[in-house]
């Protein structure tokens, strides 16, 4: 219904869509759903087209937002529960600022308006969004599992991040060293692999053997992997301890102290001057000594457990917590940068899939607006720089973020691209199952009065129209 005078106000209010034309009275404008500011009625066509474009942009963003929420919750929930692997909140905040902030440029995106009236169709929106989110979750979990549990990408020249692999190799190496030592000498000259030493042991012999075994291990490690010094690059300080003056020694200082204890003062370097490690352990300083024939020099923590795992090797240094070792801190820190970068790239690239959900087209077949493309490039260049260089061990040793380097940055991009194309297949499948074809079926199953409180979302019968038309407003 269109009108311009005071007498048209009741009809405009009762109509499904009341339109006040140009130069209409204030009463007509107040009662109308749409107010035209240009002469003529042809502008109604433009208004309908623009409103459908705006609605489609909102719908595309809603699908993107729901999918990303599902993806973030499931991805990091699974990684935390299944692998005891933490993702620092600062990276989630950066994801929100870069991806969700720049994605607001979708308000200017190029869209093809639906030829028919459209609605939210929440069933389709939620099923599509959840499917997208679960697929992206799977992409990250598979990447994490390959990098964390195997040496899958080592052949490409990138750093091996398989902590479990290195810990097993370390145990095998030291087991061989201890077996050889016991066969050539006896337990009194070797001690236990866990760091414990018999009370009748030769302290100097045990210390010399262990220092030799540690040096041999690092020689083997450097031949197969990277230098030992690289393992200690960008590591966070040891912030949980009972050291005097609230000290926060570096990870390498803590490592040298562990080696000093493990080798009974022969290797490594004491934190604050040399002391008798064997006697200190017998007195229970920092360790739990129950008075048997074995002195727990490092609280039953082996060299491999310290470097590649979590250990409470001395309460003075760990505050009776499981302290993260330098090896696992380094590898997990690099892995965080890789996961962050892959989540960022694949997450924001999802908008190119959701923006073509209505037309049911390939994501690359419809060009986005330049502003959206620029926003995507800007956000992901910044994300790539963050992933490449990291935060130098910030914020803490348990959730350190260390740069993954150029190799893993390239892998993150390629991985996101490969997993991007199946998203369109998911979109086509969901659209076919739920709607059979897109932009061809009637959008409304009931007539909706746009804004009138007495008739909102209700079916308007001819009888009701007659009754309401006779009322005065």
Q: Look at residues 291, 320, 349 and tell me which one is the last residue of a structural domain.
A: 320
Residue 197's φ and ψ, nearest 5 degrees, are -135, 135
Are both 99 and 194 inside the same structural domain?
A: no
Closest by CA to 54, choosing from 109, 103, 125, 129, is 109
Q: Between the CA of residue 212 and those of 117, 172, 181, 266, 267, what are the distances in Å? A: 79, 16, 11, 10, 9
- Total Cβ atoms within 10 A of residue 247: 14
pLDDT of residue 444: 36
Are both 281 and 216 inside the same structural domain?
A: yes
Q: Are 134 and 74 in contact (CB under 8 A)?
A: yes
**What's the structural domain count of the chain?**
3
Q: Look at residues 269, 298, 320 and tell me which one is the last residue of a structural domain.
A: 320
Are both 216 and 253 inside the same structural domain?
A: yes
Are both 465 and 383 inside the same structural domain?
A: no
Q: Are 451 and 51 in contact (CB under 8 A)?
A: no
Are both 193 and 257 inside the same structural domain?
A: yes
Residue 140 belongs to a domain: yes
Question: How far is the first Cα of the chain from the last one, in angstroms, to the nearest whole number?
Answer: 16
CATH number at 395 reads: 1.20.1110.10
Tokens describing residue 469: 């038309």
Residue 142 belongs to a domain: yes
Residue 211 belongs to a domain: yes
pLDDT < 70 stretches in the chain? 291, 436-473
Are both 313 and 253 inside the same structural domain?
A: yes
Are both 91 and 190 inside the same structural domain?
A: no
Query: β-strands 294-295, 19-20: how paired?
Result: unpaired
Residue 42 belongs to a domain: no
pLDDT of residue 447: 39
Q: Are 325 and 115 in contact (CB under 8 A)?
A: no
- In the chain, pLDDT over 70 holds for what percent of residues? 92
To which H or E segment does residue 294 belong? Answer: strand 294-295
Which residue range forms the structural domain that includes residue 141?
53-158+328-435
Closest by CA to 372, choosing from 96, 108, 68, is 108
Q: Are 333 and 400 in contact (CB under 8 A)?
A: yes
Sign of torsion over alpha carbons 215, 218, 222, 223: positive
Are both 215 and 273 inside the same structural domain?
A: yes
Are both 173 and 309 inside the same structural domain?
A: yes
Are both 351 and 308 inside the same structural domain?
A: no
Are both 277 and 293 inside the same structural domain?
A: yes
Residue 234 belongs to a domain: no
Tokens describing residue 263: 């080798």
Residue 39 belongs to a domain: no
To which H or E segment does residue 324 belong? Answer: strand 323-324
Facing residues of 294 across strands? 198
Q: SS3 for 420-447, per residue?
A: HHHHHHHHHHHHHHHHCCCCCCCCCCCC
Give me the residue label for tokens 């935390």. Answer: 80
Closest by CA to 210, choosing from 267, 131, 256, 285, is 267
Q: Look at residues 298, 320, 342 and tell me which one is the last residue of a structural domain.
A: 320
Q: Are 295 and 199 in contact (CB under 8 A)?
A: yes
pLDDT of residue 359: 81
Facing residues of 197 across strands? 295
Residue 41 belongs to a domain: no
Residue 29 belongs to a domain: yes
Are both 304 and 395 inside the same structural domain?
A: no
């Amino acid at each position: 219904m269109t009108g311009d005078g005071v007498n048209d106000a009741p009809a405009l209010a009762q109509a499904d869509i009341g339109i006040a034309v140009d130069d209409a009275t204030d009463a007509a404008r107040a009662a109308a759903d749409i107010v035209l500011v240009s002469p003529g009625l042809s502008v109604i066509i433009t208004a309908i087209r623009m409103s459908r474009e705006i609605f489609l942009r909102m719908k595309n963003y809603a699908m993107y937002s729901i999918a990303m929420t599902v993806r973030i919750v499931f991805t990091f929930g699974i990684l935390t529960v299944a692998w005891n692997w933490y993702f620092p909140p600062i990276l989630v905040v950066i994801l929100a600022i870069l991806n969700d902030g720049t994605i607001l440029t979708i308000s200017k995106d190029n869209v093809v308006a639906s030829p028919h009236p459209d609605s939210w169709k929440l069933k389709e929106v939620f099923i599509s969004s959840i499917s997208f989110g679960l697929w992206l979750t799977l992409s990250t979990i598979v990447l994490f599992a390959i990098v964390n549990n195997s040496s899958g990408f080592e052949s490409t020249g990138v750093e091996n991040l398989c902590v479990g692999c290195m810990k097993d190799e370390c145990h095998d190496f030291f087991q061989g060293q201890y077996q050889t030592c016991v066969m050539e000498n006896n337990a009194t000259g070797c001690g236990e692999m866990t760091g414990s030493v018999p009370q009748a042991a030769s302290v100097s012999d045990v210390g010399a053997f262990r220092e030799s075994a540690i040096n041999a291990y690092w020689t083997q490690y450097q031949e197969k992997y990277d230098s030992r010094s690289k393992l200690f690059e960008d590591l966070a300080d040891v912030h949980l301890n009972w050291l005097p003056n609230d000290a926060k020694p570096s990870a390498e200082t803590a490592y040298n102290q562990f080696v000093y204890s493990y080798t009974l003062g022969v290797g490594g370097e004491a934190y604050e001057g040399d002391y008798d490690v064997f006697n200190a352990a017998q007195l229970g300083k920092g360790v739990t000594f129950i008075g048997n024939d074995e002195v727990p020099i490092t609280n039953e923590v082996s060299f491999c457990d310290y470097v590649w795992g979590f250990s409470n090797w001395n309460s003075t240094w760990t505050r009776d917590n499981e302290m993260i070792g330098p090896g696992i801190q380094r590898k997990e820190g690099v892995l965080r940068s890789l996961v962050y970068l892959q989540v960022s790239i694949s997450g924001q690239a999802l908008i190119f899939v959701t923006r073509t959900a209505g037309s049911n087209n390939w994501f690359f077949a419809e060009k986005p607006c330049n502003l959206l493309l620029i926003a995507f490039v800007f956000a992901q260049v910044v994300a790539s720089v963050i992933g490449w260089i990291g935060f130098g061990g910030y914020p803490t040793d348990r959730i350190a973020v260390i740069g993954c380097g150029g190799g893993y940055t390239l892998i993150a991009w390629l991985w996101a691209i490969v997993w991007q194309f199946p998203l369109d297949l998911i979109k086509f499948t969901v659209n076919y199952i739920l709607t059979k074809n897109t932009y061809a079926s009637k959008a409304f199953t009931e007539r909706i009065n746009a804004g009138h409180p007495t008739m909102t979302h209700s079916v308007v019968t001819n009888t009701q129209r007659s009754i309401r038309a006779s009322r005065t407003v």
